[in-house]
């Protein structure tokens, strides 16, 4: 089933390690944005656009810091597009299973130029989109990131849901080690030894 | 009883006190004993005062109360009084049930006394406070001192049961100590903690044990069960399981007005406590406001996480091992000697105290069965 394939099965350049870094960063930025938009003055609009903007900002930062040579932000406009090992992808805040923003499947100028460099469209020319979706839980929304690969007919040929591992789940990185308590072992009393000792004492008296 | 004469052995005195003890431990009323012996309730009462049962009655009593005959012919040494036990005031626990459990503990102590002659248990190695403590701040210091004295550092404890056993506390399972009674402790001859065997929540089990350690450390000679002492024991348990220095540094920040549940899950699994205990502790340390803590409790209640919680299955349940290990050291003959000296039956040790006993290496086979 193609839906259960990791994108790297179709496009080897999209390795697990690289996608994990991008998506964990994305979710980290998005969760922080949700924190900031949980005031009483926030609306669905702020809750929707703020994370999208923050993800954009995170990618700009990753590009600026330059620690990831395989990562580039090739389009900095609102339909921002990143390149992971030369494979382009856009980001959409939408439900990947019930996609409302169909227009976001259209390739932007950067992607079209990229395709033109690769030559005539073939099965290798896929469109990659990353969907960020929220379960809208009032007690604290959970975000999921899915990467979808579309062929030229806009059929989904790859779908993969990212397993989020918080970048830093706790405030500190230097955790106190777990205190291993050793087993307590009862000891058999040596009664015979005591008796022998007594006998020895007796013989000395004689 | 003398097999030849059918009379009670000469010189040994029947102990009415021991009959009362065994009856209480079995959770039987005087009327029930009377009925089982075919006598009146009044006569059953008399047996617990100064009357001596007939050989047949004695045999029946042993059978019903699951003790050996020798049990009734040794004087009752030091009884376990209810005031000595740090029971929690659980609404469902009746006085009768408490008396039953206290009697069972006294009988368990008889077994431990005899075991102690054969096997050396770890020495009692913790300092109990001489004066009553007041204030959450002081209890925090008591728990920190306890950690320091035991060389525990600041990290999560791998096992609270092992910690209790390491410092000389015997942890025991009693089959009858269910939700109606909760865990409790006492310091009679040796500190002892009775676990509630029905709790499936490993975090709560650990918290209960830490709570009882709090009683043993702070409430020697103090009658407990009131709101104040229970609160103190809870504060000790919280501080012992989640030391403020390390816990405060690890507690995840809020996601705006939301608690960071994925990070709390990590914290729960690392510290092996319940979500509820995490939130209580965070509130006590002012890491959460009253409203934030309230919203956390509401979330847990709405999810139905009262007795058990999500991810409990990822935390191993702790089991006491020390007494079982002591029994395992004994050969069958020695075990029988210990059992006879305590006056208990194998059935009681297996069923009430939930311990495995040595098995006879050889089995008697009647020749005519061939």
* CB-CB neighbors (< 8 A) of B259 in chain A: 139-140
3-state secondary structure of A171: coil
Model confidence, pTM: 0.70
Q: Residue A166 and residue B263: Cβ atoms within 8 Å?
A: yes
pLDDT at B224 over 90: no
Token pair listed for A10: 């179709």
- Contact in structure between B275 and B252 (CB atoms under 8 Å): no
Q: Residue B326 and residue A34: Cβ atoms within 8 Å?
A: no
Phi, psi of A141, rounded to the nearest 5 degrees: -65, 145
Measured distance CA(B39)–CA(B165) in Å, rounded: 45
Q: How far is B329 from chain A (nearest CA, A)?
A: 7
Q: What is the pLDDT of residues B233-247, one digit of tens each?
A: 999 999 999 999 899
3-state secondary structure of A168: coil
DSSP B9-58: PSSPPP-HHHHHHHHHHHT--HHHHHHHHTS-HHHHHHHTTT----HHHH
pLDDT at A168 over 70: no
3-state secondary structure of B345: coil
Residue with tokens 């007041």: B134
pLDDT at B275 over 90: yes
Q: What is the pLDDT of residues A58-117, one digit of tens each?
A: 999 999 998 899 999 999 999 999 999 999 999 999 999 999 998 999 999 998 888 888
Closest CA to B307 of B164, B196, B158, B160: B196
Q: How far is A142 from chain B (nearest CA, A)?
A: 9
pLDDT grade for B12, boundaries at 50, 70 and 90:
low
- Contact in structure between A161 and A146 (CB atoms under 8 Å): yes
Q: Which residue on chain B is closest to A179 by alpha carbon?
A: B157
3-state secondary structure of A181: coil
Closest Cβ opposite residue A31 in set B166, B255, B326: B255
**Of the ranges B7-21, B124-138, B323-337, which one carries the lowest mean pLDDT score?**
B7-21
Q: Residue A177 and residue B155: Cβ atoms within 8 Å?
A: yes
Token pair listed for B310: 């999500």
Q: What pLDDT, on a 0 to 100 scale, did the predictor assign at position B2?
A: 46
Measured distance CA(B240)–CA(B168) in Å, rounded: 17
pLDDT at A205 over 50: no
Q: How far is A115 from chain B (nearest CA, A)?
A: 40
Q: Residue B262 and residue A166: Cβ atoms within 8 Å?
A: yes
Closest Cβ opposite residue A188 in set B118, B158, B163: B118
Q: Residue A169 and residue B252: Cβ atoms within 8 Å?
A: yes
Q: Which residue on chain B is closest to A38 by alpha carbon?
A: B256
Closest CA to B240 of B201, B200, B195, B272: B272
The H-assigned helical ranges of A37-173 are 44-65, 109-118
Q: How many CB pairs under 8 A join A and B?
A: 111
pLDDT grade for B353, boundaries at 50, 70 and 90:
confident
- The ipTM value here is 0.78
Q: What is the pLDDT of residues B47-98, one digit of tens each?
A: 888 888 888 888 888 888 888 888 888 877 766 666 666 666 544 567 777 7
Q: Which residue on chain B is closest to A180 by alpha carbon?
A: B158
3-state secondary structure of A162: coil
**Mean pLDDT across the stretch B308-330?**
90
Token pair listed for B257: 């007005």
């Amino acid at each position: 089933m193609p839906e259960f394939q990791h994108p790297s099965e179709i496009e080897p350049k999209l390795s697990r390690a690289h996608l994990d870094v991008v998506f964990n960063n994305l979710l980290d930025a998005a969760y922080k944005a949700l924190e900031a938009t949980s005031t009483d003055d926030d609306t669905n609009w702020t809750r929707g656009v703020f994370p999208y903007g923050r993800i954009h900002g995170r990618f700009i930062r990753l590009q600026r810091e330059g620690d990831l040579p395989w990562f580039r932000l090739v389009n900095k406009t609102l339909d921002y597009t990143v390149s992971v090992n030369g494979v382009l992808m856009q980001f959409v805040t939408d439900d990947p299973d019930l996609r409302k923003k169909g227009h976001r499947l259209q390739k932007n100028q950067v992607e079209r130029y990229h395709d033109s460099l690769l030559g005539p469209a073939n099965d290798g020319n896929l469109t990659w989109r990353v969907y960020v979706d929220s379960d809208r839980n009032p007690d604290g929304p959970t975000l999921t990131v899915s990467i979808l690969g579309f062929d030229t007919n806009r059929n989904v040929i790859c779908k993969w849901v990212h397993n989020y591992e918080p970048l830093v789940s706790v405030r500190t990185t230097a955790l106190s080690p777990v205190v291993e308590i050793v087993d307590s072992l009862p000891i058999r009393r040596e009664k015979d030894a005591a008796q022998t000792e007594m006998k020895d004492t007796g013989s000395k008296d004689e | 009883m003398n097999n030849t004469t059918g009379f009670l052995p000469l010189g040994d005195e029947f102990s009415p006190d021991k009959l009362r003890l065994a009856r209480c431990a079995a959770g039987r009323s005087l009327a029930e004993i009377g009925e089982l012996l075919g006598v009146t309730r009044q006569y059953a009462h008399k047996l617990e005062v100064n009357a001596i049962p007939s050989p047949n009655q004695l045999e029946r009593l042993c059978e019903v109360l699951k003790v050996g005959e020798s049990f009734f012919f040794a004087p009752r040494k030091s009884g376990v009084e209810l005031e000595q036990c740090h029971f929690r005031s659980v609404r469902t626990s009746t006085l009768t049930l408490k008396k039953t459990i206290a009697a069972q503990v006294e009988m368990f102590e008889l077994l431990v006394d005899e075991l102690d002659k054969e096997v050396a248990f770890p020495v009692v190695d913790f300092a109990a406070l001489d004066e009553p403590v007041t204030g959450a701040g002081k209890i925090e210091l008591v728990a920190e001192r306890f950690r320091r004295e035991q060389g525990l550092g600041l990290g999560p404890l791998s096992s609270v049961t092992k910690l209790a056993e390491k410092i000389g506390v015997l942890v025991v399972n009693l089959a009858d100590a269910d939700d109606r009674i909760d865990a409790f402790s006492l310091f009679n001859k040796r500190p002892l903690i009775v676990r509630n065997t029905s709790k499936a929540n490993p975090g709560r089990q650990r918290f209960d044990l830490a709570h009882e350690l709090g009683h043993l450390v702070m409430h020697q000679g103090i009658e407990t069960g009131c709101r104040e002492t229970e609160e103190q024991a809870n504060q000790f348990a919280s501080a012992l399981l989640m030391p403020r220095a390390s816990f405060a540094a690890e507690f995840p920040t809020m996601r705006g007005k939301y608690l960071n549940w994925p990070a709390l899950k990590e914290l729960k699994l690392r510290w092996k406590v319940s979500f509820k205990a995490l939130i209580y502790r965070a509130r006590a340390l002012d890491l959460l406001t009253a409203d934030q803590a309230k919203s956390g409790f509401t979330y847990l209640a709405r999810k139905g996480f009262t007795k058990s919680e999500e991810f409990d299955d990822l935390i191993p349940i702790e089991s006491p091992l020390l007494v079982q290990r002591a029994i395992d050291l004994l050969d069958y003959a020695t075990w029988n000697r210990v059992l006879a000296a305590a006056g208990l039956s194998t059935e009681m040790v297996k069923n009430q105290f939930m311990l495995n006993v040595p098995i006879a290496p050889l089995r008697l086979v009647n020749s005519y069965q061939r």
